A and B are shown apart, each in its own frame.
Chain A
Amino acid sequence: MTQPSAPVGTLACLVVAIAGAAAGVAADAPPRAESGQTLIVPDAHLDAGEVYHVMSGEDAQLVCVSDAPLQRLVAVNRRVVGYVVVPFDRKESDPPLVAGAFRIPAAAFETGVSALDDLLRGAALLDSASHPEITCRLAEVKSFERDGADGPARWTLGAAAWLEVKGRSLRKEVVASVTFRPFTWQTMGRYPGELLTVRATIELTLEELGLGKPGPPWAERLADRLRCEVFLLCNTVPQDKTLDPASPQAEFSRRLRIIMLLRDLDQPREGLVLARRYLRDYAESAPALNRLATDLLTADGLRPRGLDVALEAAKRAARLTEEKDAAILDTLAQAHFARGSPAEAVAWLRKAVERAQGQPRLFEELTGRLKSYERFVEPQAEPPPGIER
């Protein structure tokens, strides 16, 4: 629809209505899009302003600290997705945000200790198998104030948010800081697009979250109160938008979904089923197969990594290109290496290096990898039959 410029000040009155427009239930956040890396933004929010999508993957977005007498736990979540909405053509008198919704994968909290991660995900605490996501929605912006006149535009917000944990909703008052980082060639170094950050510190109790302690040993090892530091870097360019014209959007979205299921939501069966379906649907596309294999081999934190699928995809891509494409042979070598076959990896990588003659940057990268792989190969190891040295 056409969005006329809104009169100054009227947007402030609309925040509550807009924030609630997407949700029937208090803490409902819109569902994830096909890729899983963004949410499906409701029309009411699209019409309200510019949508900034949360960028997940690298930042410590949620840092939750439990400071108990006998144990200090820090759980970090880097897989929060969602969005906030900034009014179009915002004036100083308008609130910086008019809507926001987030999904937090319960299985993506990491303490750095596997047993503790399992405990967090387990039925006694977050129960990620039954409740894969915690959701959050901006309910109301009650106050907002500009911080300082110089530097990036930074605002302090008094807001209320709905949080839903294991099916239980609670409303939390939050003080947040929103800093706008419009596109410059410096911000481009992080992400292309208009950026903003949301920072907040939230105090939570296990009781209000509806979480009990797992058992007697945890009485002194898990605090009743948690402090959660929030850092969300948001971007007008969604994370699931392919910027490479040669990589079709639908194919990219499917790969992102596979990765999300294997990594964020701890749903390996569903992820591997989708990966197999991708293999079938893109059976004749060497680039698409190579991209899937590369993602499975290199994406952080996959559980499991899907190495069989990666190898199958790389083999097929190599066949389709008659073993002439250096980058694809490199992927095949990496798949063999990841599956514990360094000799085969070295053999394929040597072939890749031969094919990379005339591509200086790729040649340099492959020869470097070849050297690192060769350290794992017995001196007398013979290449598998049918592979030329």
Chain B
Amino acid sequence: MRKRFVDASPTSFPLRAAVLVLLVPATATAETPAWTQWGGPTRDFRAGAEGLAPRWPDSGPRQLWRRALGPGHSAILCEAGRLYTMYRAGDRETAVAIDAQTGQTLWEHSYAAPAKPDMQADFCIGPHATPLIVGDRLFTVGGTVILNCLDKHTGKLLWTHDLMDRLGASHVGRGYGPSPIAYDDLVILNVGGGQAGVAAFRQDTGDVAWLSEPLRPGQSSPILARIAGDDHLIVALAADRAGLDPRSGAIRWRLALDRQAAAIMSTPVFLPPDRVFFSSAYGGGSYVIRVTKAADGRYAAEQVWHDKRLKVQHGNVVVLGELAIGSSGDFGPAFMMAVRLSDGELAWRQRGFAKATLLCADGRLIILDEEGNLALATASPEGLTVLSRAKPLQEKAWTAPTLVGTRLYLRDLRDIVALDLSAAGNS
């Protein structure tokens, strides 16, 4: 488990370091801030940032740099002063490493990924999936399900699989979107085809470690959870919600929801010790299920509640106390909405944002809507209080923000931007 983030900015580092010396157990090692996978350190869009400005100037938070990037919705990873993401140019996809301080390109790895004849290209065919950093490697998956393992320092290709060719993986119509996840020495991802629902590969060689039984494709990213003493890889593929043994791919439990819930794209949220939250748009709504282990060791899952009001399309959900908070809506208007995790009852809904993604940091929410509007807010069971607003992006912004320390990284279909959210930078 990662520890709380440390603000490593020069101005605040000495003080924070001193505090950490006092607070961190002697056996722990201080980790530098990083965002190495979809959803951040714990894959739940919670950042350990501290020292965020309580409000922003009217002109918005201080911009550190801005540069052109290109089409794509892959989120931005950050580690050791480098950013990693992906974009598309014509028929080629590119993984790029960028200097987090300056925005300068450090390396690019580009490869041919023409649209498949049966793809619906009207929403940008990707890349949608967010890369994954493990050790010295960067794993990327493009819109046409080409899985690459790169040397994160140089961009050198270490191994590659065209998963449509090799495993009959699905591009899910509008381009593959689920982000891969690491487990031990494996990289695991949905493939959703006739040969397998989920596949695991050895990180070092790219060899197939296991293939699950076939499951229909889906756009939701998998998560890992520990339930009743076992690790579960939780996937949402079409109408199936399933927990797999991440070592073998064996399905531990499986629950089929109704057809309207089949187009799930948002990432599940684990609610320890044994519940999982799912949300989908298109009439699906939100579900909480409970996973139980019988005396014979077998697992089962049951629906705890279902409510159609919170319907998250391709955004995400954060859990704050007893609330699940997300942007509810698909093609039409979107409301920021909170439901109670205990029973699905609506706590509040608030207009004023287009469809949005969000993250939770330092007790606050950072909300980015698809029109490029950024907000700092607090949430409680009574409602959402917007503290500050800005508009740092102009094009369609479907990518969830990345917060590392007090630096926020955003992108839309054209640009990538670094903003300083610190109190010192926005006084």
Contact = CB atoms under 8 A, between A and B. Distances in A.
Interface of A: 1-5, 46-47, 50-51, 88-89, 182-185, 188, 192-194, 235-238, 241, 243-246, 248-249, 360-361
A241 B331 contact: yes
A50 B124 CA distance: 29
B348 A3 contact: yes
Contacts of B123: 243-245
Contacts of A194: 283, 332
A249 B413 CA distance: 13
A336 to B, nearest CB: 27
Contacts of A243: 122-123, 331
Contacts of B283: 182-184, 194
Given A3-B349, A89-B346, A183-B282, A248 B395 contact: yes
A243 B282 CA distance: 15
A192 B331 contact: yes
B348 A245 contact: no
Nearest to A187: B283
B117 A360 contact: yes
Interface residues of B, number: 28
Given A192-B330, A193-B331, A1 B350 contact: yes
A183 B308 CA distance: 11
B122 A236 contact: no
B373 to A, nearest CB: 12
Contacts of A235: 332
A2 B350 contact: yes
Interface pairs A-B: 3 shortest CB-CB: A245-B396, A2-B383, A237-B332
B71 interface: yes
Nearest to A235: B332
A306 B162 CA distance: 48
Nearest to A43: B351
Interface in B121-144: 122-124
A2 B259 contact: no
Interface string B367-385: 0000100000000001110
B70 to A, nearest CB: 12
A193 B334 CA distance: 12
A2 B384 contact: yes
Given A246-B124, A361-B117, A2 B349 contact: yes
Given A2-B348, A3-B348, A184-B283, 7 more contacts: A4-B348, A89-B309, A89-B346, A182-B283, A244-B123, A245-B123, A248-B394
Nearest to B385: A2
B260 interface: yes
15 contacts: A2-B348, A2-B349, A2-B350, A3-B348, A3-B351, A4-B348, A46-B351, A50-B333, A51-B333, A183-B260, A185-B259, A193-B330, A194-B332, A245-B124, A245-B413
Nearest to B349: A3
Interface in B74-126: 117, 122-124
Nearest to B117: A360
Contacts of A236: 332-333
A208 B396 CA distance: 49
A238 B333 CA distance: 8
A219 B394 CA distance: 59
B348 A237 contact: no
A228 to B, nearest CB: 29
Contacts of A248: 394-396
Contacts of A88: 349
Most buried by A among B117, B282, B309, B394: B282
A246 to B, nearest CB: 6
A3 B350 contact: yes
Nearest to A51: B333
Contact of B332 (A185, A238, A246): A238
Given A183-B283, A185-B259, A245 B333 contact: no
Nearest to B330: A192
B382 A245 contact: no
A246 B122 CA distance: 8
A249 B332 CA distance: 13
A249 B331 contact: no
Nearest to B124: A245
Contacts of A193: 330-332
A235 B329 CA distance: 13
B398 interface: yes
Most-contacted residue by chain B among A4, A51, A238, A245 (CB, 10 A): A245
A206 to B, nearest CB: 39
Given A5-B346, A184-B260, A360-B117, A241 B71 contact: no
A184 B261 CA distance: 10
B71 A246 contact: yes
Nearest to B395: A248
A4 B346 CA distance: 8
A184 to B, nearest CB: 6
A188 B290 CA distance: 31
Interface string B387-411: 0000000111010000000000000
A235 B332 CA distance: 8
Contacts of A183: 260, 282-283, 330
A330 to B, nearest CB: 17
A304 to B, nearest CB: 30
A193 B283 CA distance: 9
A184 B332 CA distance: 15
Contacts of A192: 330-332
B282 A188 contact: yes
Contacts of A89: 309, 346
Contacts of B413: 245-246
A184 B283 CA distance: 7
Nearest to A238: B332
Interface in B339-361: 346, 348-351
B330 A2 contact: no
B379 to A, nearest CB: 10
A189 to B, nearest CB: 13
Contact of A245 (B331, B346, B398): B398
A241 B282 contact: no
Contacts of A360: 117
Given A5-B346, A183-B283, A193-B331, A249 B371 contact: yes
A290 B404 CA distance: 41
A241 B259 CA distance: 26
Contacts of B71: 246
A3 B336 CA distance: 11
Contacts of B384: 2
Nearest to A248: B395
Interface in B276-308: 282-283
Interface in B214-265: 259-260
Contacts of A5: 346
Contacts of B332: 192-194, 235-238, 241
B410 to A, nearest CB: 15
B260 A244 contact: no
